[in-house]
Amino acid sequence: MGFRLRKSIAIMPGVRMTFSKTGIGYSVGVKGYRVTQRADGRTQRTVSLPGTGLSHVSTRGSAGHVASGRAAPRRSPLPPPPAPRPVKPALFAPRAEKDLYRAVQTRDVAAMERIMQAQPELVLAAATISGVLKLSAGDRPRAKTLLAWVFATGKDPAHDPFIAKYVSFRFRLEVVAGAIAELGLDRASVGLALAELHQADGELTEAIDVVEQVEPTTFAALSLAELYTQAGRHDDVVELTNGVVNHDDATALLSVFRGVALRETGYLDASREAFAEALTSRKRAPVIRHRALLERARTYEAEGKRALARKDLERILAEDSHYDGLAEEFEALGR
């Protein structure tokens, strides 16, 4: 009999290549989450909750290449998860609503996941809360699956009837080292947490795609600035930080990222101006001031101003002799 080419082949676990009349495509993913680069250049993301029959598919136009950068820094886990509001379900409230309320009170994720499978009207609330609980417990893969599904629905958990009525909490998320955000249970916070998970797994393209979809805030800009920097998209960092003024820790860090981007694109004078802005207030967290000093020292070194570079490094040394990267910079200057 005649031979024919298989339309889809597995290259390695989780990776498949597909052949069609229009060309070659590929898909990468795990159970519950898959990204497909189609032969026509479009990118398709499929997010599902295994065992529930629920899935969400989104397709976007061809995306530009994003180079991978340094490994993302480890993030601190989310602080304690949601606590119910004082309001309790009424006597004649639906049984499923009472069950989910009880599961939130006891932080019983297994019960929440059973409710997700049986009660479509409660799946958004149960998946969102379960995702936060899983993240705080260190179960990053499951947290990623749940939060990715919630985000892909396009819905805002803050508007979910169950959450709006029964659940009220805020959690702290370290968006970038030195910048901690106080977040509520809404679409933006889900997006930032999901982006942190993607970033920690080295998935910069996915992390950037998520943050670019959330409501613009200082912390979203900060997250994007770090992601763009790691991806080598320095022009995007410069555009993102135009006009930034040092008002608080977050905006001071934005000035640091701006300084790095300007240095990497060859604008050394402007780079130093950005670092000067980041250092205008000594009220900023030490980790932020030290980062600004370290990066400015690198700019001075690029200009051949080694004495000034050493002076900035010595300012860090006086406060934190173990600051990450400090010893390496002193060694580089000593050559």
The C-alpha R_g of the chain, in whole angstroms, comes to 23
**Which run of H or E residues covers position 184?**
strand 179-184
Amino acid 132: pLDDT: 87
Amino acid 126: pLDDT: 95
Contact present, 147 and 131 (Cβ < 8 Å): yes
Q: Residue 37: which of 239, 206, 248 has the closest Cα?
A: 206
Q: How many CB atoms lie within 10 A of CB 220?
A: 21
Amino acid 1: pLDDT: 33
CATH, range 232-334: 1.25.40
**Which run of H or E residues covers position 10?**
strand 8-12
Report how far residue 40's alpha carbon sits from residue 278's, in angstroms, rounded to the nearest whole number. 44
State whether residue 293 is helix, strand or coil. helix
DSSP per-residue letters across 306-319 = HHHHHHHHHHHHHH
Report how far residue 316's alpha carbon sits from residue 223's, in angstroms, rounded to the nearest whole number. 25
Amino acid 65: pLDDT: 38
Q: Any bridge partners for residue 17, and if so which?
A: 9, 26
Q: What are the sequence ranges of the domains in the chain?
A: 8-60, 76-219, 232-334
Amino acid 212: pLDDT: 94
**What pTM was estimated for this model as a whole?**
0.72
Written as six digits, the tokens of 81 are 């998860």
Tell me the per-residue pLDDT of 63-97, one tens digit each, with 9 for 90 and over.
443 333 333 344 444 455 555 556 788 888 899 99
Amino acid 170: pLDDT: 72
pLDDT below 70 — which residues of the chain? 1-86, 335
Amino acid 34: pLDDT: 62
CA angle 154, 106, 174 (to 5 degrees): 50
Report how far residue 54's alpha carbon sits from residue 48's, in angstroms, rounded to the nearest whole number. 6
**Which run of H or E residues covers position 18?**
strand 15-20
Report how far residue 63's alpha carbon sits from residue 51's, in angstroms, rounded to the nearest whole number. 31
